[in-house]
Structure 1
């Protein structure tokens, strides 16, 4: 009985213990469940009502600034502020294999869960419990995306709950594609490479959208352990991981067995390629203006950029033996002002001036400003294409310009003077316009480097006594192909908001710093006049074409050569594009090879030719004559000016611009070249009331050209004005100038020990009353021009000279002098 009783007591005690244990477990489990429910409710409320996640600040704005061409090709990326390569991408900017491989290895139920994969949580909990340690995680791709910037060490329950909350909140804010893009843009791929785009360029030298299946699987496996699996350091380890990714893709039905075997057999070539660095001067310019824009589509066309680089490199390579080391090219799209190509120098990496951006360097343009000056003159009605200008030796207050080839054409139409780039007619045009208006106009079309006080520029402005940028000048020429409409050049397709305080270089200011409205030419006819002159092959000098360009059509171009042969320019424009080329040396070293027509024109025209060949839109005749705004007028055939009825006997017709009111014609003053004089019918001599008695006389219309023109024509055997009758008493008694210096039959000897400017001869004469203007000639070449009171000097070279002075009344005196070299 005792034993039975004792045993029964023990059984009863054992049952009580189990009951208490089960009760304790139940209470504990209830508490856990309650706690879990409380946490879950709190988390749900926080997700629903909590503040939104600032997606832009997830990674502290540490994103590379990446620039793309107009077709979406990466030009260049700049390191983020944390010294990492991180290039944002969208899901549709990567290969489909990348997306499939990433989801297979990281989160196969990504498209179906709401940020947290509960099945994966249960699986991980069971696996870790069985192993007695953490061997499996349950983080979804969304959870990884919101915590990629967080340190992996020190992860706690609080850290995990925060990750879950952020993932659930992010799923409410962004679409699945946006979350996937966020992950692919920031996932680690080894070293300072973050994001699939940077990884694709770094390891395979291609964009992420061009990755194949084996490459995609390899990169998709790296974020698990990016430092250990870097393919440039541990190729075998990365291949093992890649094959695991491929197995998962096969398991999920994303690839078939044949693709699996082929991909596993593939051995990738790890290039360790640097990221692209295309158009470095252009990208530097964009990045300096918009340093905080993370992803920007620029206006550049990479194909046209490569074309421009190739043509420039070929040209400079051939000119190196002649002392020309550098150059720059700009291509503008006429319709938009977009910069399609910009080559700043031949070699960006050259330690000697390689990083100088020649497109922004301020250089002397030589004659390249002439089309703008002629265009303004046409627009103002100062000039017509048929207006006859004087290409003879002339002087303006001591300024004696010369043509490039140091010869003279005599009388020449304005359009031919522009096409032949004659300096003296261009100076005459600038004098007609005035310095102040033309400087304002040049600034208004973007040439803001002409920023000195207006009175510092003289008539030499027309041949380049100023500095301009190739980019600005090329863009100014594009105005002609738009019918005179000027637009600022553009480098960014999206036009982002500039940094605070940024002022575009294309804006223009007057002498006081006041903003000037940007205009252009008011009348499309003015642009047509310029383009027709610069594209008409019949107006061009016969030796101006390179043989391989002799058949080029539908293009207008102008060259420029700065003084002392330091800069060679050509700007060429056609219907769709404008191309600017500069060649020279950044240390300003001169070279006789630096002639715009010889070295810069072939580069520009070859680029234009290539652009025309690649475009299906080219064809027909260009430039097009405006359908309105022009009217035919009668002109004097000799002067090219509006007819003076009764005096102009030879007539021509031409187009004149109609002003905005639709009625007023913008015309220069009527022809004043012709006058009627009384002549002896028998001898043709001019007579007056002192000598006409007893003679049969008649009225004759003659041309009264300026004295310097008349003197030049006389040397050429053309005398348009009859001589006065030699037997006229008043003519015989008339006073004329008397030369005092140089002395008649004077002999002078050059002194090599003195500078040339110190070896000058005074030009002085006594003038009769009534003389207001005088011209000095040496062997019929103009050497000085001014008023009788001006002090004039002449710097001669060795030779024999006939010195002649003529006043505005046609009265003259001559002396002979000799200048010898020392024995």
Structure 2
């Protein structure tokens, strides 16, 4: 029975203390720690004890440590004699093994009975563990003064070094501290501390553990004074680790050099932006090939009044335009558009929703790639309407954007302009997936990986598994990603870097910005073969600020971070996922017989897109100034020519931005117009528009101006409001009207009999 009691006298785990959460860099440097719940700086147990400290602690505390079996009766007898003679405790006589038991039984009063229990448990501990393991337990749990527990924390706190970097003098200093931690600690009682340290150094010299030169140099070393501050190089990553690995020491994937430089960059921009009352910045840098996070800046060095402790990297924020590349890639992948397909850019109203471009201008029509590069809102909305909100929502779910979590109908078309929320972590993961997919596909010629959309990783002990090779795409094909990145490369750079194309040293980066409504969020994400950098700027409180935009606020930080890395070569073309086809130069559609075309590489699925609808064969007279037909011209004299023709409203805006656009010539006066194409359309108002008539300062009701576009600039048109004739216009087709509250039908008829109608609702303010 005694043997059973003896066997189970020690629990399997001696120490269940609260530990400090510790993070190290990829190369093992200490970069942050969060104090344990009990207010102690106590590092998790290390798997080894440095030789210098081991020799020092054994020489100072227990010279016969490697010879006894848990207790030293001779030492205990001498201690008893000295204590009785002094009538107080002047010597303990405990071995290091007994001291480990005492630390385990923390809180027990010191008595001869308790000493007997320590002796029994010490022998049990010797049966269970090796001497080195017992030293590890002691080194991890011995008190070193104040709230510092354990050798590793003491080494950092008092010397700013890892334990294996300590000199003999430093190791000796720490070895004598646990003997009287409440009395002797750095900063006070310096003479007592130095005397104890020097006695230990002399002992080491006499035992020939150290030579004379080492001994004399060690005596000259100064004692620590003010404790070193615990480094906080990545405080918000530390918060994240503390939630997921509380009380553990985690070797992260952070690169110290990069983290320090990014911290400096964020600090510089914080000092600049706070003048505009913008207080928060976050930056995430990802190594694409491993998905390891090499820099994590969760917030700027602001104060508590501006939420300095909030980790914005995983905070949901309005997306602005940052999702547009995903829509472009989706439509390319599904064969909905070609890279340069013309997209309308005209005043638009869809079910009461009227998107506006940032500069409030219209191009009439713009290539899809340029619409993405310029981040035009109206083309993006029209593209999403064509693609469908539900399909795009499903794509975002495949990309694991966790904060896009409402029903698609709750977002509507605003989904592409900031109606949704996302976070920097998910965004960088999605763009890392795109870069990784394209890189791996071109490297292997035709393979995707099943787990390409792997989560980002900050733990060096974890290696990302990208899954098995496969031939099917995950979300986007390599060809669609390649074209998307090419479009993103053409985004206008921030001020000072506009001429980047003319410098060999310039960084080739696929990048995109986003700005949420009211200047609340400024985004920038950049992609190369090697890295993804994500930046967010704004106020954690959600307060918007004027002049806060992705291009002006987030992009400069993005490019400064990218300059920390060597220049990356641009992505290799994924020819196995592309197909060479004839494409109309002007319209960007698949070529038909009537358009000037060139061979272009397009995604394989895009070969099913429609042929160009804007090039038509027209018949002209010999002068090519008028259109003719067989009713007025001899067939042999008719000149047939391909003509680029846009619908009236698109044409009206397009020709103002494109001086080389030539409008379709009118029919010659002696010809019968048999053309059935639409000649005119409304510019304003849009369909089902509600118009509120305003008053000037004199209280007079101001008219509303109706406007149409006509393909024939010489045509005369006639205006009607219901059945009331309003008059005619020529060349510039605008008409002012004032009407009482009600619903009306606006009718416009041109001199050739073509008629268009629009229903409007008018309210007097």
TM-score for both structures, normalised by structure 1: 0.75
Q: 1:676 aligns with which of 611, 614, 617?
A: 617
Partner of 1:545: 497
Q: Partner residue of 1:444? A: 398
| CA drift at 1:733 | 14
Aligned counterparts of 1:493 and 1:434: Cα–Cα separation in 2: 41
Partner Cα separation in structure 1 for residue 634 and residue 548 of structure 2: 65
Partner of 2:458: 491
CA distance in 2, matches of 1:436, 1:345: 34
Query: Which structure 2 residues correspond to residues 370-769 of structure 1 after superposition, within 5 A?
Result: 370-483=324-437, 485-494=452-461, 521-535=475-489, 540=492, 545=497, 551-612=505-566, 621-626=569-574, 628-644=576-592, 647-658=593-604, 667-681=608-622, 685-687=626-628, 696-697=637-638, 699-715=640-656, 718-728=661-671, 750-751=695-696
Q: Distance in 2 between matches of 1:790 and 1:598?
A: 44
8 Å Cα contact 2:317-2:423 kept in structure 1? yes
* CA offsets 1:346-385 (integer angstroms, 9 cap, x no match): 2254333222222223222322222222122222222332
Q: Structure 1 residues 281 and 690 mapped into 2: Cα distance closer, same or farther (>3 Å)?
A: same
8 Å CA contact 1:763–1:792 kept in 2: the answer is no
* Aligned partner of 1:125 among 67, 77, 84: 77
Partner secondary structure for residue 513 of structure 2 = strand
Q: Which residue of 2 aligns with 1:80?
A: 36
Asked if structure 1 preserves the Cα contact closer than 8 Å seen for 2:594 and 2:617, the reply is: no
Deviations 1:37-65 (A, max 9, x none): xxxx966x877xx2495453x22343223
Distance across 1 between alignment mates of 2:535 and 2:608: 35
Q: Which residue of structure 2 lines up, in the alignment, with residue 254 of structure 1? A: 209
Distance 1:144 1:489 in 2: 44
Q: Residue 100 of structure 1: which of 28, 50, 55 is its match?
A: 55
User: Structure 1 residues 264, 693: closer, same or farther in 2, change over 3 A?
Assistant: closer
Is contact 2:280–2:302 with CA below 8 Å preserved after alignment? Answer: no
CA distance in 2, matches of 1:281, 1:633: 50
Q: Distance in 2 between matches of 1:792 and 1:578?
A: 54
Distance in structure 1 (CA, Å) of the matches to 2:750 and 2:282: 49
C-alpha contact (below 8 Å) 2:494/2:556 kept by paired residues: no
C-alpha displacement at 1:777, in angstroms? 14
Structure 1 residue 185: Cα displacement: 1.0
| Aligned partners of 1:383 and 1:667 also within 8 Å | no
Residues 269 and 470 (structure 1), Cα distance of their counterparts in 2 relative to 1, 3 Å cut = same
Q: 2:147 aligns with which of 184, 189, 192?
A: 192
Q: Which runs of 5+ in 2 are unaligned?
A: 439-451, 464-471, 686-692, 709-718, 723-728, 737-741, 759-765
Alpha carbons 1:737, 1:813 under 8 Å: kept: no
Shift of 1:695: 9.2
- Residue range with higher mean Cα deviation, 429-438 or 336-345: 336-345
Contact 1:46–1:165, Cα closer than 8 Å, also in 2: no
* Cα gap change, 1:455 to 1:395, in 2 (>3 Å): same
Looking at structure 2, the residues matched to 405 and 611 of structure 1 have their Cα atoms a distance apart, in angstroms, of: 34
- Distance in 1 between residues matched to 2:399 and 2:261, nearest whole Å: 28
Residues 46 and 564 (structure 1), Cα distance of their counterparts in 2 relative to 1, 3 Å cut: closer
The one-character-per-residue Cα deviations of 1:416-442 (angstroms, maximum 9, x if unpaired) are 332232333323332232111112212
* Aligned residue number for residue 271 of structure 1: 226
User: CA distance change for structure 1 residues 790 and 300 in 2, over 3 Å: closer, same or farther?
Assistant: farther
Seen in structure 2, the aligned counterparts of structure 1 residues 546 and 532 have a Cα distance that, compared at 3 Å, is closer
277-286 or 171-180, which deviates more:
171-180
**Does residue 286 of structure 1 match 2:241?**
yes
Change (3 A) 1:639 1:806: farther
C-alpha deviation, 1:219, in angstroms: 1.3
Q: CA deviation at 1:311?
A: 0.5
Mapped to 1, the partners of 2:29 and 2:614 lie a distance apart of 63
* Structure-1 separation of matches of 2:69 and 2:575: 65
Normalising to structure 2: TM-score of the pair? 0.80
Shift of 1:455: 0.7
Asked if the contact 2:158/2:226 (under 8 Å) is kept, the reply is yes
| 1:307 matched residue in structure 2 | 261
Secondary structure of the residue aligned to 2:643 is strand
Larger Rg: 1
Residue deviations 1:667-723 (CA, integer Å, cap 9, x gap): 422333333345455665445676668995454433342332222245556344343
User: Displacement of 1:560 after TM fit?
Assistant: 1.9
Q: Which residue of 1 aligns with 2:761?
A: none
Q: Tell whether the 8 Å contact from 2:187 to 2:224 is kept in structure 1 after alignment.
A: no
**Retained in 2: the 8 A contact 1:656–1:667?**
no
TM superposition shift of 1:136: 4.9
User: 2: distance between equivalents of 1:132 and 1:542?
Assistant: 82
Residues 418 and 516 of structure 2 are in contact (CA less than 8 Å); yes or no, is this contact kept in structure 1?
A: yes
Distance in 2 (CA, whole Å) between partners of 1:806 and 1:177 is 100
Q: Which residue of 2 aligns with 1:62?
A: 18
Matched residue SS, 1:351: helix
Task: Give a deviation string over 1:149-181, Cα, whole Å, max 9, x none.
Answer: 324754456644543444344444444433322
CA distance in 2, matches of 1:811, 1:568: 46
Work out the CA distance in 1 between the residues paired with 2:324 and 2:5.
71
Shift of 1:220: 0.8
Which residue is 1:28 aligned to?
Answer: none
Residues 460-492 of structure 1: CA deviation (Å, up to 9, x unaligned): 332322222122222222222102632222233
Residue 344 in 1 paired to residue 289 in 2? no
The answer for the alignment partner of 1:36 in structure 2 is none
Find the aligned partners of 1:720 and 1:52 in 2 and give their Cα distance. Answer: 98
Question: What's the secondary structure of 2:322's corresponding residue?
Answer: helix
Q: For 1:429, what is the secondary structure of its paired residue?
A: helix
User: Contact between 2:339 and 2:602, CA under 8 Å: does it hold in 1?
Assistant: no
* Farther-moved stretch of structure 1 (484-493 vs 234-243): 484-493
Aligned residues of 1:552 and 1:609 also touching (Cα < 8 A): no
Cα distance change, pair 202–683 in 1 and its aligned pair in 2 (3 A) = closer
Change (3 A) 1:735 1:219: closer
Q: Which runs of 5+ in 1 are unaligned?
A: 1-40, 497-517, 613-617, 659-663, 743-747, 769-775, 784-788, 794-802, 815-823
Shift of 1:806: 9.5
For the structure 1 residues 680 and 777, does the alpha-carbon distance in structure 2 shift closer, same or farther, using more than 3 Å as the test? closer
Tell me the SS of whatever aligns to 1:565: coil
Instruction: State how far apart, in whole Å, the 1-side matches of 2:662 and 2:400 are.
Output: 46
Map Cα deviations across residues 180-221 of structure 1 (whole Å, 9 max, x no partner): 222111001123221112222333344334333222211110
